Amino acid sequence: MSRAKRKLDHIRHALSHEHDVYNHFDDVNIVHQSLTGLNFDQLHLRAHVGELTLSSPIFVNAMTGGGGEQTLTINRELARAAAATGIGMAVGSQMSAIKDPSERSSYEIVRKENRDGVLFANVGSEASLEHAKTAIDMIEANALQIHLNTLQELIMPEGDRDFAGRLEKIEAIVNKADVPVIVKEVGYGMSREAIQKLIELGVRYIDVGGRGGTNFSKVENMRRTKPFASFDNWGIPTPMSLLEAKQLEEEYELTILGSGGIRHGVDGAKTIVLGAKSFGMAGVLLKVLVEEGYESLVEQIEHIKKELKMVMMLTNSKSVEDLGSSTFTLHGETKEWAEQRINL
Ligand code: FNR
């Protein structure tokens, strides 16, 4: 199967697979504060994400790129929407375009459409330092994402099986790249142990990429004649993974980003309350773009920004940083997880 066809299959299946009924963001309650002295119209969403400053903590998470007209169109529209709404954007894995320069235009278009925005390049953990530098240069990226997707690869018939040497590669990139390096999961979440290991390699930016939204086990299973459905519920839900990361934040000056299953601005606010400095949304935004078009996508992002500001009003938070120190309660499975794994 061609790479372009695989990418279109991913988009189709990501938009159509069934989502879990239990949503772990519903286990997190931000404590409502009745008294506010703030003016909604004066609130700003500026976010300090380690060395980066974003005009809002929201970013479009990595999705697509590569050969084919459709991926180019999707990337152009995502980039235009990110520019119009002042949010960040990650491109999909650039590994194929690193090897085949004819595929670069669908990535380069993202910088062309968004001259001044914050953009993240994206490679897999098989990337060498040279690959990483090429990916960064291709879109004049402000940061680089390295994605971890072991289970996706294992379910994919044509996926990687040999991960030997991956840690050394990540270490080389983190220590030599000129921009911040974010290690991210793609929807299986990161444990405290994995994050601790990444910290030892020099990583200081983690996107927990937890379970709850786009589910790559389900996506890949839809492409298999004999599916591994037993892995459909594998992984750590995003709120739990954020709790894992938060335990290491202070000691190691870790910058945490949250993604995976964020449905709206209130979920986004919950990631911030749980320790994230910024949050990424992929499937939900792609669905609006593909099914309703560019104008609806811009409207949706503006709506999410408003929801975030509403939560700031309701927690008496003057800034995104203030929002991060709001109090919350945990319930259900997330509370059970915290009781077994976290020293709150
Ligand atoms: C992705 N994702 C992804 N991640 C990555 O690091 N590199 C990639 O190339 C891709 N490709 C990709 C394609 C499509 C169609 C989707 C929907 C997603 C994963 C994405 O960045 C994110 O981690 C997950 O989708 C979970 O977030 P959501 O979708 O639940 O918000």
Is the pLDDT at 159 greater than 70? The verdict is yes
Please indicate whether residue 11, judged by its CB atom, sits closer than 6 Å to ligand 1: yes
What pLDDT, in 10s, does the model give residues 22-47? 999 999 999 999 999 999 999 999 99
Is the pLDDT at 227 greater than 90? The verdict is yes
* Nearest atom of ligand 1 to the alpha carbon of 10: 15
Helix axes 129-138, 166-176, angle to 10 degrees: 50
Please indicate whether residue 334, judged by its CB atom, sits closer than 6 Å to ligand 1: no
What does the alpha-carbon distance between residue 322 and residue 318 come to, in Å, rounded to a whole number? 6
What pLDDT, on the 0 to 100 scale, is given for residue 1?
Answer: 67
From atom 11 of ligand 1, which residue's Cα is the shortest distance away? 63
From atom 1 of ligand 1, which residue's Cα is the shortest distance away? 63
Please indicate whether residue 221, judged by its CB atom, sits closer than 6 Å to ligand 1: no
What pLDDT, in 10s, does the model give residues 169-189? 999 999 999 999 999 999 999
Please indicate whether residue 127, judged by its CB atom, sits closer than 6 Å to ligand 1: no
184 C-alpha to center of ligand 1: Å? 10
What pLDDT, in 10s, does the model give residues 249-271? 999 999 999 999 999 999 999 99
Question: Which ipTM value was assigned to this complex?
Answer: 0.99
- Percent of the chain residues past pLDDT 70, beyond the cut: 99
What pLDDT, on the 0 to 100 scale, is given for residue 203?
Answer: 98
**68: confidence class by pLDDT, cuts 50, 70, 90:** confident
What pLDDT, in 10s, does the model give residues 300-325? 999 999 999 999 999 999 999 999 99
Pocket test for ligand 1, best of 60, 73, 147 (most atoms within 8 A of CB): 147
Mean pLDDT of the chain: 96
Give the ranges where 46-102 is alpha helix by DSSP (H): 69-85, 95-99
Taken in order 330, 335, 338, 339, is the CA torsion positive or negative? positive
CB 186 within 8 A of CB 148: yes
34 C-alpha to center of ligand 1: Å? 37
From atom 18 of ligand 1, which residue's Cα is the shortest distance away? 63
Please indicate whether residue 180, judged by its CB atom, sits closer than 6 Å to ligand 1: no
Q: What angle do CA 63, 133, 62 make, to 5 degrees?
A: 10
**3: confidence class by pLDDT, cuts 50, 70, 90:** confident
What pLDDT, on the 0 to 100 scale, is given for residue 147?
Answer: 98
What pLDDT, on the 0 to 100 scale, is given for residue 268?
Answer: 98
Please indicate whether residue 241, judged by its CB atom, sits closer than 6 Å to ligand 1: no
Is the pLDDT at 344 greater than 60? The verdict is no
Q: What angle do CA 261, 264, 268 make, to 5 degrees?
A: 75
What pLDDT, on the 0 to 100 scale, is given for residue 288?
Answer: 98
Q: State if pTM tops 0.90.
A: yes
**Higher pLDDT, residue 88 or 342:** 88
**115: confidence class by pLDDT, cuts 50, 70, 90:** very high
CB 258 within 8 A of CB 208: yes
